[in-house]
């Protein structure tokens, strides 16, 4: 069975335990980067990461963009959405389709 994990501040990710998702609290850039690498090496298929944590590890996330696994998915944290997750979806769609079909006004 494929593993699923989430990286971010404890307040944002603690509730995911109830869904059976492994949680990995990380509060600084070094911890976030190390955790992403560790999860990728342990063959996690999906890594959710809070928007705040994703800002600390842009290069690490970009490294895995062209790989089939792990899928790194940016989600809002406890403070609400910063719009980064939607931007990622928009960019993925533009790469796949060649046009921005999710344009916003």
Q: End-to-end CA distance of the chain, in Å?
A: 41
Q: What is the CA radius of gyration of the chain?
A: 14
Do 56 and 28 contact (CB within 8 A), yes or no?
Answer: yes
In a domain, 53, yes or no: yes
Q: Report the pLDDT value the prediction gives residue 76, as an integer from 0 to 100.
A: 87
Q: For residue range 38-67, list pLDDT tens digits in order.
A: 999 998 999 999 999 999 999 999 998 888
CA distance 48 to 104: 24
In a domain, 89, yes or no: yes
Residue 12 maps to which CATH number?
3.40.50.10580
Q: For residue range 79-105, list pLDDT tens digits in order.
A: 767 666 667 766 666 666 676 666 655
In a domain, 103, yes or no: no
Q: What's the domain count of the chain?
A: 1
In a domain, 34, yes or no: yes
pTM, rounded to two decimals: 0.78
**Which residue segment(s) compose the domain that 69 sits in?**
3-97
DSSP helix/strand/coil, 43:
coil
């Amino acid at each position: 069975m494929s593993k699923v994990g989430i990286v971010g501040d404890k307040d944002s990710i603690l509730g995911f335990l109830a869904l059976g998702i492994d949680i990995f609290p990380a509060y600084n850039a070094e911890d976030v980067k190390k955790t992403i690498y560790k999860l990728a090496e342990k063959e996690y298929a999906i890594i959710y990461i809070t928007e705040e944590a994703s800002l600390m590890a842009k290069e690490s996330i970009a490294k895995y963009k062209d790989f089939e696994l792990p899928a790194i998915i940016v989600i809002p944290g406890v403070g609400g959405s910063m719009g980064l997750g939607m931007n990622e979806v928009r960019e993925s769609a533009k790469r796949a389709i060649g046009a921005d079909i999710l344009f916003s006004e």
